[in-house]
């Protein structure tokens, strides 16, 4: 027995697969079900996997398969009826309307060898980073560490080291050009210079995105919005989890 939202998501994924040959993005699924965050989609997909309706190929972008629908015989593999999907992600017999407007030339390379902890995306000058969840740019919240979702990021935005992505919630960094719903790319590390925007862990359970200032034995976490107050803590209560290196925005 599926819940209403589980049934809606399963049918949406199945329709998308039958029409395009590849699964919808998490953003498309979130909008289709009118959910406020992608964490709800993660929970629905996990529940559908546990009940044997979906199969997820980990470490591959947009790789959901519908195994069966309500009323199908158990174990019937619906994915076998899908058109073959080439490396580009589009089905071999897709109509022109479903094809990209253009195919850019790219330089292939082993980016993972130069950037430890990062997996390469298929046939593109990009890498796949784990999307950990939502981070507050207002009141601190605990970041969701669910690595099931991946996001493609151009390698030009990254430097050496390990990176991850977070979705911003709130408006406290808006004057720094960081808006609610933006995706920030973070280089993992435990140090930062004064004035850099960091992911800070406060008291080992609150995570926030703020500008860091050291003042003697204290650390100030400054917002970039006059309506929010700077918070000051003893240095031993704040741990730097990484620093902002890039930002992605969907229009």
Q: What is the pLDDT of residues 76-122, one digit of tens each?
A: 555 554 444 444 444 444 443 444 444 444 434 444 444 555 554 44
Using pLDDT thresholds of 50, 70 and 90, give the confidence band for residue 139.
low
pTM as predicted: 0.52
Q: Which of 67-76, 112-121, 142-151, 213-222 has the lowest mean pLDDT?
A: 112-121
Residue 177, pLDDT > 50, answer yes
Q: Tell me the domains of the chain and their CATH numbers.
A: 4-86 (1.10.10.10), 111-248 (2.10.109.10)
In this predicted model, which residue has the larger pLDDT, 142 or 154?
154
Active-site residue (options: 23, 30, 38, 172): 172
Distance CA(23)–CA(30), nearest Å, equals: 13
**Closest listed residue to residue 45, CA positions, set 74, 83, 12, 72:** 12
Question: pLDDT band at residue 126, thresholds of 50, 70 and 90?
Answer: confident
Contact 199, 165 (CB under 8 A): no
Distance CA 246, CA 251 (A): 17
Q: In the structure, what pLDDT confidence band is assigned to residue 198 with cuts at 50, 70 and 90?
A: very high
> Is 172 marked active-site?
yes
Which position has the higher pLDDT, 36 or 124? 36
For this structure, is 36 an active site residue?
no
* Confidence (pLDDT) at 73: 59
What is the pLDDT of the chain when averaged over all its residues? 77
List the catalytic residue out of 23, 30, 38, 210: 210
Q: What is the mean pLDDT of residues 171-186?
A: 92
């Amino acid at each position: 027995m599926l819940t209403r939202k589980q049934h809606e998501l399963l049918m949406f994924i199945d329709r998308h697969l039958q029409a395009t040959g590849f699964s919808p993005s998490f953003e498309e699924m979130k909008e289709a079900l009118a959910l406020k965050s992608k964490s709800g989609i993660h929970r629905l997909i996990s529940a559908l996997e546990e009940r044997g309706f979906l199969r997820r190929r980990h470490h591959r972008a947009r790789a959901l398969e519908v195994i069966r629908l309500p009323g199908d015989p158990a174990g019937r593999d619906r994915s076998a009826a899908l058109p073959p999907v080439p490396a580009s992600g589009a089905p071999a017999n897709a109509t022109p309307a479903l094809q990209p407007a253009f195919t850019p030339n790219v330089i292939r390379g082993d980016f993972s060898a130069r950037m430890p902890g990062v997996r390469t995306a298929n046939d593109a000058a990009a890498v796949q980073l784990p999307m950990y969840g939502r981070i507050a740019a207002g009141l601190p919240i605990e970041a969701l560490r669910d690595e099931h979702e991946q996001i493609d990021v151009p390698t030009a935005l990254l430097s050496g080291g390990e990176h991850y992505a977070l979705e911003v919630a709130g408006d406290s960094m808006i004057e720094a050009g960081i808006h609610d719903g933006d995706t920030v790319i973070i280089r993992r590390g435990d140090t930062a210079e004064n004035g850099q925007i960091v992911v800070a862990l406060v008291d080992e359970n609150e995570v926030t995105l703020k500008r860091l200032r050291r003042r003697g034995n204290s650390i100030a976490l400054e917002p970039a919005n006059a309506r929010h107050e700077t918070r000051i803590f003893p240095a031993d209560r704040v741990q730097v989890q990484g620093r902002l290196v890039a930002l992605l925005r969907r229009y």
